[in-house]
Structure 1
């Protein structure tokens, strides 16, 4: 074969591979999918435990592993550490198709007063399928789900209820308190949270106009209490900020944007 025939042959093989891979991927996804709720669980100071529900809406039984890691930010990167403060029970469970399972997140120690601790719940579908006799039948695709978890000490709370809102109102620092600075030579804005409560930032608002923004490769966008996170800036947004326009953080549906002060 000449060079053009070889090229055509390679292209045909490539497209065939991609087509088959796409079909296989769709099939694997269809075999076991989970609905998980609540997606923003919290442990208030008086709570001893919190539930997270997993519902298998796929076609086959699946084994899942549940782990809870201490979550922090270092140099704009998520850091996860092993911990024994929050225990997930059961840590590994089989969920049959069409059924649901409650995971209990139990507090093994109390959070210090007026403190918020942050965690990530990592839920992994184990890379196996189970047959009717609960034996390993074949290797399957592995899915991972990640949920934030915040736990509170006495004196502050999540603000998700009237009780915790009233409690937080007595402490001026029991909220996200955000400062900003432009990173020299880059289209990046660094947001620092000096408040006691973490916040998820999905974008910014200037002059009533909203600008979506990602925190680099960080898909969560959380500015944890006592930490910093850098977000990408468009040329337009950077220009407005440098003109001393007031900038607000967009923090979620049905929530007022938060004013960010210049550092």
Structure 2
């Protein structure tokens, strides 16, 4: 499963013209699960802030990055208990996340917990499009001996777009947000103030800048700035060479 397909196809609602769209209020806390060995379990809390019961499905996938792309694969190493639930309005529901694999953790294992709201045909109404919700929660199981992120950055140009590559030689993920690029001529591109993504340990991840980069230098180096760290802390300040497109 490619992460680019994780977002539900809500644009289909536009096909209904004047139909009204309603989304349920499914909340998930926390937004990230991080368990350090010898710990092997944690919990999340689901809450239905809507007015009617909501059925949800809860699944865990192994999360990896290769050649700048992310993928999710089925796993039996980590399970969610229970794998599904009916959430009553205004009620909290606790789900356990358990690593059942017996092998020791070498550094850091990355997973994604998907919490999907399921459709209920009995509540469908004519002229109304009900938007289903999906939450994708990062889950990490780590060794106390894990090494911190150590990222080499590069930038390339392809069809007028800038592509930023982060090669993480450390064993711990780097969370990247508020990313921006500036070349020697003062041209700047921002990825916005929010989360850009993660560079997982011992992996390479690539992101394409949201705006055109035709004015950016095709050679030399580019300054990279942003916020990073395992959580939301730490500044990213790096200089990246401009390389051939991947």
TM-score w.r.t. length of structure 2: 0.73
Is residue 223 from structure 1 mapped to residue 213 from structure 2 by the alignment? no
1:1-263 alignment, distance < 5 Å? 17-20=16-19, 23=20, 25-26=21-22, 29=23, 32-110=24-102, 112-128=104-120, 137-139=122-124, 141-156=131-146, 174-183=147-156, 185=158, 187-202=162-177, 203-204=179-180, 212-213=190-191, 221-233=197-209, 235=213, 238-239=216-217, 242-244=219-221, 246-251=223-228, 255-260=233-238, 262=240
Which structure has more relative contact order (CA 8 Å, sep 6+)? It is 2
Q: Deviations over 1:9-58 (max 9, x none)?
A: xxxxxx995232xx2x13xx1xx311211001112112121000001100
In 2, Cα distance between equivalents of 1:206 and 1:78: 26
Question: Structure 1 211/38 Cα, relative in aligned 2: closer, same or farther at 3 Å?
Answer: farther
In 1, Cα distance between equivalents of 2:15 and 2:145: 61
- Contact 1:62/1:96 (<8 A) preserved: yes
Q: Deviations over 1:204-236 (max 9, x none)?
A: 3669x985328xxxx851111122122234539
In 1, Cα distance between equivalents of 2:200 and 2:235: 17
- Contact 2:63/2:70 (<8 A) preserved: yes
Q: CA RMSD in A?
A: 3.2
> Which of the two has greater helix per residue?
1
What secondary structure does 1:145 align onto?
strand
Identify the range of structure 1 (252-261 vs 67-76) with the bigger mean alpha-carbon deviation.
252-261
What secondary structure does 2:18 align onto?
helix
Aligned residues: 213
Q: Deviations over 1:93-128 (max 9, x none)?
A: 111001010000011025644411111101111111
TM-score w.r.t. length of structure 1: 0.69
Q: Which one has a bigger Cα radius of gyration?
A: 1
Identify the range of structure 1 (52-61 vs 189-198) with the bigger mean alpha-carbon deviation.
189-198
For structure 1, which runs of at least 5 residues remain unmatched after alignment?
1-14, 130-136, 157-173
Name the residue aligned to 2:5: none
